[in-house]
Structure 1
């Protein structure tokens, strides 16, 4: 606002400079006077812009942060899925053209971290079946409807781990019971432990994981639209679990 007022004032001042006859009329043919006024306005704009940048732009604080994949450093206890840092994505073949992607928007989970790390720990994830999002509203209704997930009758998709087999220093195969559409079948996910650390913003103990796997939807009674829509469902998961620091309000 101050910038606009200053520029407007400068323009008015230029317009009111009297000509040689004493008139207040701005002679448009007076090229020299116009050039001088334009230079004044440009100078004011430069000063105003510099002032705006210096006062309106607050430098971001640089956050330095490291995590460790040393599982023995992770405090034992119950961790909850961070409500703001996760994703669960399914994709399935669509007419052989591409893999159609859908995500879920409401998920909760709990990680029971114990001594000996991933081999001795367990996780349980619950997905709200009605939160499926294909980015196509009409298709959302069809997927959560009676012919597919039947979310009204089977509102939850649930995974409960049963066994972990280590394949690397910070990776392994996590097997668990997956329940969809009222049917439970074993599913194995390839899991990577991304690391543990104290979150620099929340100060909570935080663990991060990536996982992926696949399952046959027909094994869960989901055969609608086959073979136009494939049977093999790919799963991709990103998840952060955290535990508030001791003494924090819960």
Structure 2
């Protein structure tokens, strides 16, 4: 978790996710032949990094379910409905990191945490790659991470689907998660 010229110990502290420069995205199969991609536009989170003991680092993230955006307003309205996220009843998706261990490659980690979607919580593993640290043009210390995971919609009670005439179902069960985080050191 080092960048040339940057001591990992310098990353120790609390960092606030910058929503203007971060993305929480997803992808799921549609009609068995295509992939629908989307993201959430409203979220917040805090990273507590320990550069001396990276395995002591942890994170808390909250995503507003009504901010889902797939580029199709009719589909987004359906995804907010009780058939899927039920945004009125379950306004947030939350992730609380509970553990971290080194990954297979330098600058990579596996973060374990509690993910709550649609009122159901499961432990998930997220592959995280440290992207670097820098001071931006406004004097903010920044740190970046890329993260990926996958989950089963059914595990979180998201079971709505429609059979296809040729066989199969309209929406795949596996959801791929793709996250880019830019966080600013809290003062």
Compute the TM-score of the two structures, normalised by the length of structure 2. 0.89
Q: Report the Cα distance in structure 2 between the residues aligned to 1:181 and 1:91, rounded to whole angstroms.
A: 18
Q: Which has the larger radius of gyration?
A: 1
Query: Does the CA contact (< 8 Å) of 1:69 and 1:195 recur in 2?
Result: no
Once the 2 structures are TM-superposed, how far is the Cα of residue 172 of structure 1 from its aligned partner?
1.5
Considering Cα pairs closer than 8 Å and 6+ residues apart, tell me whether 1 or 2 has the greater RCO.
2
Structure 2 stretches lacking a partner, 5+ long: 163-168
Report 1:145-224 matches (<5 A).
145-167=81-103, 168-199=105-136, 201-224=137-160
Q: Report the Cα distance in structure 2 between the residues aligned to 1:98 and 1:117, rounded to whole angstroms.
A: 43
Once the 2 structures are TM-superposed, how far is the Cα of residue 117 of structure 1 from its aligned partner?
4.7
**Distance of aligned partners of 1:114 and 1:137 in 2 relative to their CA distance in 1, 3 Å threshold:** same
Once the 2 structures are TM-superposed, how far is the Cα of residue 152 of structure 1 from its aligned partner?
0.2
Would you say 1:80 and 2:16 are equivalent positions? yes
Please name the residue that 1:231 is paired with: 173
| Aligned equivalent of 1:100, options 36, 47, 71 | 36
How big is the alpha-carbon RMSD for the aligned residues of Structure 1 and Structure 2?
1.7
The structure in which a higher percent of residues are strand is: 2
The structure in which a higher percent of residues are helix is: 1
Once the 2 structures are TM-superposed, how far is the Cα of residue 73 of structure 1 from its aligned partner?
3.6
Deviates more, 1:68-77 or 1:140-149: 68-77
CA-to-partner distance for each residue in 1:17-44, whole Å, 9 max, x for gaps?
xxxxxxxxxxxxxxxxxxxxxxxxxxxx
Once the 2 structures are TM-superposed, how far is the Cα of residue 68 of structure 1 from its aligned partner?
4.4
Secondary structure of the corresponding residue to residue 143 of structure 1: helix
4+ residue stretches of structure 1 with deviation over 3 A? 67-71
Secondary structure of the corresponding residue to residue 223 of structure 1: coil
Query: Does the CA contact (< 8 Å) of 1:69 and 1:194 recur in 2?
Result: no
Once the 2 structures are TM-superposed, how far is the Cα of residue 225 of structure 1 from its aligned partner?
1.1
**Distance of aligned partners of 1:214 and 1:100 in 2 relative to their CA distance in 1, 3 Å threshold:** same
Structure 1 stretches lacking a partner, 5+ long: 1-66
Compute the TM-score of the two structures, normalised by the length of structure 1. 0.67
| Number of aligned positions between the proteins | 178
Please name the residue that 2:64 is paired with: 128
Query: Does the CA contact (< 8 Å) of 1:86 and 1:237 recur in 2?
Result: yes
CA-to-partner distance for each residue in 1:138-186, whole Å, 9 max, x for gaps?
1111000111100000000011111112023200111111000000001
Q: Report the Cα distance in structure 1 between the residues aligned to 2:7 and 2:21, rounded to whole angstroms.
A: 21
